[in-house]
Amino acid sequence: MIEQLLAAEVASYEVFEDPPGVTLLSEEEALVRDSVESRRREFTTGRHCARMALARIEFPSDRPILSGPRGEPLWPDQVRGSITHCRGYRAAVVARASEIASVGIDAEPDQPLPDGVLEAVALPEEQARTKELLRSFPGVRWDRMLFSAKESVYKTWFPITRRPLEFEDALIEIDPVGGTFSVRILPQGARGIRNAPERFTGRWTAGKGIVVTAISVTAAERPLDLNPERTPDIHRGVSTA
Ligand SMILES: CC(C)(COP(=O)(O)OP(=O)(O)OC[C@H]1O[C@@H](n2cnc3c(N)ncnc32)[C@H](O)[C@@H]1OP(=O)(O)O)[C@@H](O)C(=O)NCCC(=O)NCCS
């Protein structure tokens, strides 16, 4: 499902159940040793997908893929990538950093968001559009799609900026026919970040009981000298550098 959503330079690997016999490397195992079984399973299969995707770009895939302080997967320097998992689906995507500046993917069950969540994560105009989509195109849970798109935005944004992004910091418009969505980062989200991305374009799909969204930003769209890589990692003004 995910392959159709990504730039040609991005390799992907997805599964719809946890394959038997997959194990973690010892350094990865330490990250989930005390986690509940469901978390251990999604993490293990996510790392398996990551290694399979890395092999597809002919990148050595025998090194541990650890997690950074904000939960982000720590890819080799020359690689960009993203991982998602939800009930009945796990996927990872990777690309060479020389070709792709950032990529973010997210999968969610194609089920209504719990009561109150749309109001919590969507701007008023997004809520109105979502309700209209639910009326006009009832085959897909557009509230869940919007949520997934926001998660993909964050996973694309964070590796570029090393900064948080709140749900109300990105305005998303989903095209229900064309399979795309547009993202505008609002001024408060980009405040204080040099060369912050202002817009992204993503793609979505739905099927097999899940919705999937993805954003890929090519290196041509975002050359390395636009990336605030030396920006201290701060969380809403509190420096953790
Ligand atoms: C981190 C977050 C995006 C994960 O999304 P999710 O739908 O809960 O879970 P998913 O299974 O799809 O994704 C989990 C994976 O995301 C990746 N991830 C976690 N934090 C990340 C970060 N800061 N940057 C990039 N990827 C990250 C990890 O690979 C993780 O899997 P792993 O721990 O097994 O390696 C979400 O929990 C979160 O914190 N959201 C708040 C921020 C946000 O969405 N803002 C909205 C901006 S418009």
CA of 154 to the centre of ligand 1 (A): 7
Which one, of 199, 63, 126, 140, lies nearest residue 81 by Cα? 63
pLDDT over threshold 60, residue 202:
yes
151 Cβ below 6 A of ligand 1: yes
Tens of pLDDT along 61-109? Answer: 789 999 999 999 999 999 999 999 999 999 999 999 999 999 999 999 9
28 Cβ below 6 A of ligand 1: no
CA of 136 to the centre of ligand 1 (A): 30
Torsional sign, CA 227, 233, 238, 241: negative
Enumerate domains of the chain plus CATH numbers: 3-228 (3.90.470.20)
pLDDT over threshold 60, residue 231:
no
Residue 149 is classified by DSSP as H
